[in-house]
Amino acid sequence: MRIAQQLYEGLEIGSAGSAGLITYMRTDSVRVSGEAQQACRDYIGQKYGVEYLPAKPPQYKSRKRAQGAHEAIRPALPLREPQAIEEYLSPEQYKLYTLIWNKFLASQLRPAVYGVTTILISAAEFLFKATGSTLKFAGFMKVFATGEEQKKQILPPLKKGEELDLVKLDSGQHFTQPPARFSDASLVKVLEEKGIGRPSTYAPIIQTIIFRDYVRRKKSYFFPTELGFTVSDMLTKYFPRILDVKFTAALEEELDEIEEGKLEWVKAVKLFYEPFTRKLVIAQRKVKKEVIPTKETCELCGRPMVIKWGRHGRFLSCSGFPECKNARSITTGVRCPQEGCEGWLVERRTRRGKMFYGCSKYPECKYAANELPQADSDGQAH
C-alpha cells in the first residue's frame, strides 16, 4: 500500500516532470471511465491488432457494492508502458506498476479460447487418459496469464490414431494434500471472498494478528501460535455471532447503508453494542474462571498447578488458590543455559511487543535470547 501510495501521489518521470501513475488505490470498484477505456482500446488495436478487441468493452460486476465514486485501480495513462518509465522507478514501484498496468490491459482484451481435449492412449492392455486444454486464441493472455491460467494443463496438438513414443513411465500414488497454510495473498483472497474488510483494511488486519502473536510468519506462510489457538477458541465460544464470518460481511453492508443515509448510525450501533456489552461482561467473568490443568505440581503445597488468565496473559497458578498464592510464569520446558542458574526459560515480550525468551529468575539472572535454545528431554539446553 505504501508503494501504491507513491505511484498515486506522483513521481518524477524524466522531462515529463512529476506525474501520478495510477488512480486512487484504496478501492474495490470495477468501474472504469469511458475516456480511459477508449484510450486503452486504441492502444490494444494498435499494439496487438483489432482481433484482440472485444466488440463492446467488457462489463464487470462487483461482488459487493463498490465504495463511493472511485474508479478501479488502473494506470493513469494506459499508453504509459511500464518499460518506458522503468528507469525512473524503484524496482518495487516498477513491479507494482507493471502488475496494475497488465491487469488493466488484460481486463480490456478478449477472453482466451481453449479447446477441451481428452486423449486416450492405449498401450498393451492398458488405457491411459489425459485431460487438458489446447490454446486456440490467446486473448488477454497475450498480456499476462493469471495463476489460474498457468495451472491449466496444456496438451500438445495430436491427431487421432497418432503413434506415440514412450519417453518415461512414472508410477506414483497421489494423496490428497491438506489445505495449505495461508500466505498474505491467499488470506486477502479469502477475506475478499467472504466480504470481510476492504482493500484499505487488509494490511492492518495482517499486521494486527502478527503483532498480537496470534500467528507467526515462517517463510511466507502464517502459523497459528498456541495463544492464537486459545484466543480463537475462547472468542468462538463466547462470541459465536460476532466470530461468524457472515456477521462481519453484514456489518460492512450496514456501514454502507449508513453512508448512503438509509440507516441511522445511532440505531445501528445501539443494536450491536447493547447485547455486546452484556455478553462481554459475562465472558470476562467466565474467562477469569477458565483454568487449564497441567502436570506440574505446586512446590509449596503439592497441589496441581493450573494455567489461568491474568492481566498480562497466561500464568501458572496453584489450584489451591486462595489458600496457596503460589504463581509463576509458564516455562518453555527449557532450562536457562546460564552457568549455575536454576531458572527456566519463559516467553516474554519487550515493551514494543516483540517476543523473546528470558529467565524465570529475572532480575537475578538477565539471560535473554530471540530463539529458544535446543534442549534435550530433561530441558537441558545444549
User: With binding defined as CB under 5 A, does residue 13 bind Zn ion?
Assistant: no
Three-state SS letters, 39-82: HHHHHHHHHCCHHHCCCCCCCCCCCCCCCCCCCCCCECCCCCCH
Q: How far is the CB of 290 from Zn ion (least distance, A)?
A: 19
CA dist 192 → 5, 41, 148, 196, 198 (Å): 21, 29, 17, 6, 8
Among 324, 372, 375, 381, binds Zn ion (CB under 5 A): 324
| 3-state DSSP assignment of residue 118 | strand
Residue of 8, 338, 369, 379 interacting with Zn ion (CB under 5 A): 338
> Which residues carry out catalysis?
24
Distance CA(111)–CA(142), nearest Å, equals 10
Upper half-sphere CA count for residue 82 (Cβ side, 13 Å): 19
Contact 198, 248 (CB under 8 A): no
Q: Please report how close the Cβ of residue 287 comes to Zn ion at its closest, in angstroms.
A: 22
How many CB atoms lie under 10 A from the CB of residue 22? 22
301 contacts Zn ion (rule: CB under 5 A):
yes
Nearer to Zn ion, 121 or 301 (CB): 301
Question: How many residues belong to the site for Zn ion (CB under 5 A)?
Answer: 15
Segment near Zn ion (CB under 5 A); pick from 111-119, 162-170, 297-305, 373-381 = 297-305
Q: Which stretch binds Zn ion (CB under 5 A): 157-165, 219-227, 267-275, 315-323?
A: 315-323
Between CA 286 and CA 238 the distance in angstroms is 9
In the complex with Zn ion, the residue whose CB is nearer, 241 or 366, is 366
Residue 336 interacts with Zn ion (CB under 5 A): yes or no: yes
Half-sphere exposure of 141 (CA within 13 A, CB side): 15
Q: Which stretch binds Zn ion (CB under 5 A): 49-57, 141-149, 184-192, 295-303?
A: 295-303
Rule CB under 5 A: which of 357-376 touch Zn ion? 359, 361, 365, 367
Scored b (16 or more CB within 10 A) or e, 321-344 reads: eeeeebebbbbbebbbbeeeeebb
**Block residue for cell numbers 506415440:** 164
In the complex with Zn ion, which residue's Cβ is closer, 102 or 319?
319
Rounded-to-integer distance, Cα 343 and Cα 82, Å: 59
Which residue in 73, 298, 330, 334 binds Zn ion (CB under 5 A)?
Answer: 298
Which segment (44-52, 58-66, 115-123, 298-306) binds Zn ion by CB under 5 A?
298-306
Among 112, 316, 318, 334, binds Zn ion (CB under 5 A): 318
**351: DSSP letter:** T
- Beta carbon of residue 216, minimum distance to Zn ion (angstroms, whole number): 25
Task: Determine the interface stretch with Zn ion among 28-36, 92-100, 290-298, 370-378 (rule: CB under 5 A).
Answer: 290-298
- Residue ranges in contact with Zn ion by CB under 5 A: 298, 300-301, 318, 320, 324, 326, 336, 338, 341, 343, 359, 361, 365, 367
